[in-house]
Structure 1
């Protein structure tokens, strides 16, 4: 069976986004309403400048006792997040997430159009297993090369 691409696997194909000056409270409400784990931060020109995830809300806002109604997304977002193309294989995307320590990858077309966000939750167990095997292989090669 051919491996799925991130675009085929995305459970949310609509883009959830807010402006950098929106509050963390706004992001939490939008994410809750859309039942998703992230929101893209888009500047007035339409360029993606960041991403805010549920983990960011916990570690960068709640754990630091910041006021969600007055804290702006620009203060807590991950700036210029890594993106993948729609034809990226799921196992490749999961490998990127494993190696870089995040769970959400914006999917951007070659035309720079934002297509959505691929979440590790969108991957099947076999695809995650393939990515873990590849990550272990990378570790072994790096160890061998010193």
Structure 2
């Protein structure tokens, strides 16, 4: 029997709201020792509307000189996320992460509510530290080639 996304995911991830401050999202990341926080419509139904990452905060708040106390998560979060259902085959999640070059994949139920999140670390822990795992993590992490300058 093939492993399912629910077998790999971290269940019930800590979430924030779009109306929360960027500072609150950063505090959650620090407290939980995580690099991203799923953003939900409201704390009761947990319908996923986006995700905010440490990179979002660095580039869209800090680098632009914005005030993290007044900037809203909804202003900097990523929308239109790639997700997977909890009962989907884990290989589909791994393929999606590789194809879309993402390191975190929210797991949702049929109503679009977040039930978990799969990270590269979750996959590595579940599969073990074999050569294939290292290759897969490398493929997910490989930056896409961009036009223009020399990516220094």
Query: Could you tell me which residue of structure 2 aligns to residue 40 of structure 1?
Result: 38
Please list every run of 5 or more consecutive structure 1 residues that lacks an aligned counterpart in the other structure.
134-146
Q: Distance in 2 between matches of 1:128 and 1:108?
A: 26
- Name the SS of the counterpart of 2:68 in structure 1: coil
- Cα deviation, residue 42, structure 1: 1.3
Q: Distance in 1 between matches of 2:133 and 2:3?
A: 9
Identify the range of structure 1 (72-81 vs 117-126) with the bigger mean alpha-carbon deviation: 117-126
Counterpart contact for 2:40–2:48, Cα < 8 Å: yes
1:28 pairs with 26, 36, 41, which one?
26
Query: Could you tell me which residue of structure 2 aligns to residue 49 of structure 1?
Result: 49
Higher helix share: 1
In the comparison of the two structures, how many residue pairs are matched?
131
Query: Could you tell me which residue of structure 1 aligns to residue 70 of structure 2?
Result: 70
| TM-score, length of structure 2 as denominator length | 0.71
Pair 1:6–1:39, CA change in 2 (3 A): same
Pair 1:132–1:88, CA change in 2 (3 A): farther
Q: Distance in 2 between matches of 1:75 and 1:43?
A: 14
Counterpart contact for 1:91–1:130, Cα < 8 Å: no
Matched, 1:129 2:151: no
Q: Distance in 2 between matches of 1:117 and 1:30?
A: 16
- Cα deviation, residue 51, structure 1: 0.7
